[in-house]
Amino acid sequence: MMVGMVTVTPGKVQRIVFLLGFVMILVVAMSAQWIRKDIQLQRTVGEVRGEFASLEPYPEASPLPPLKIMGPEGQPVDLSDYHGRYVLLNLWATWCSPCIAELPALQRLKTHYRGRNLAVLAVSVDSQKDMAGLAAFLKKHDLGAINRHNVALYHDFQGDIQKTIPFNGLPITFLIGPKGRILYQVKGPAHWDNRNIIKFLDSVQKAKGY
């Protein structure tokens, strides 16, 4: 029985070496790009800390399970519907004055990112408010048009968020990555349309591994 032999010519060796070299250059270039983005993110985090009462990387956690909230048109919305996008999830209540004070800035931030890769949701955790009551409250306090673009027309009507994500005090905001993991938490109110905060949010979206 004869076994076929493969002849390796000098030309083939050169092509293989060239291909391997090209692949290695590509890997190094991509790694360098990721490192630059991570360094930029860390620099931006340092610059933006002064804009928040508290900005903390969230402890390593599994992706969030399906969490249903009530949406602007009275329909259930699942946070998993945003898989593949970043989500800025703000929790607020009608009895929380600092929460109410930051809603206009959150609305402007939502408008800034409309049609892009970051969704901004301000979800009420009021235990007694239905959507009609929530809409009436927002209208009374002149907190934006009562339509599907209103950042605050969301309600944790089943308590899914409160049962799943531990927190103490309001307002609190979570930045969730496209794989459903919480990346950062912000305790207390913020001027969300501040250019440094927008720079931070943009840097997070450019970083790898989220």
Residue 118 is part of a domain; what is its CATH number? 3.40.30.10
Distance CA 17, CA 164 (A): 53
**pLDDT, tens only, 38-58:** 556 667 777 888 899 899 999
The average confidence (pLDDT) of the chain is: 87
Q: Is residue 164 part of a domain?
A: yes
Give the pairing of strands 154-155 and 54-57.
unpaired
What is the DSSP code (8-state) at residue 149?
T
Domain span at residue 84 reads 55-192
Output the six-digit token pair for 155. 């309600």
Q: What band does 5 get if pLDDT is binned at 50, 70 and 90?
A: low
**pLDDT, greater one: 24 or 114:** 114
**pLDDT, tens only, 142-160:** 999 999 999 999 999 999 9
Q: Is residue 206 part of a domain?
A: no
**pLDDT, tens only, 86-105:** 999 999 999 999 999 999 99
Question: Between 10-48 and 195-206, two packed helices, what is the crossing angle to 10 degrees?
Answer: 150
Distance CA 45, CA 203 (A): 9
The pLDDT of residue 24 is above 60: yes
Burial level of 55, CB count in 10 A (0-12/13-18/19+)?
buried
Q: What band does 16 get if pLDDT is binned at 50, 70 and 90?
A: low
**pLDDT, tens only, 189-208:** 999 999 999 999 999 998 86
Q: Is residue 205 part of a domain?
A: no
Output the six-digit token pair for 179. 């794989």
Q: Is residue 121 part of a domain?
A: yes
Q: Smallest Cα–Cα separation from 120: which of 69, 162, 86, 171?
A: 86
Cα separations in angstroms, 171 against 90, 102, 210: 7, 9, 24
Domain count, the chain: 1
Q: Is residue 19 part of a domain?
A: no
Strand, helix or coil at 205? Answer: helix
Q: Is residue 16 part of a domain?
A: no
Strand, helix or coil at 84? Answer: coil
Q: What band does 14 get if pLDDT is binned at 50, 70 and 90?
A: confident
173 conformational bin, left if phi > 0, alpha if psi -120 to 50, beta if neither: beta
Instruction: Please report the pLDDT score of residue 47 as a whole number.
Output: 82
- Give the predicted TM-score (pTM) of the model: 0.80
Question: Between 97-113 and 195-206, two packed helices, what is the crossing angle to 10 degrees?
Answer: 60
Residue 1 CA, chain-centre distance (Å), reads 63
Distance CA 129, CA 157 (A): 8
Q: Is residue 153 part of a domain?
A: yes
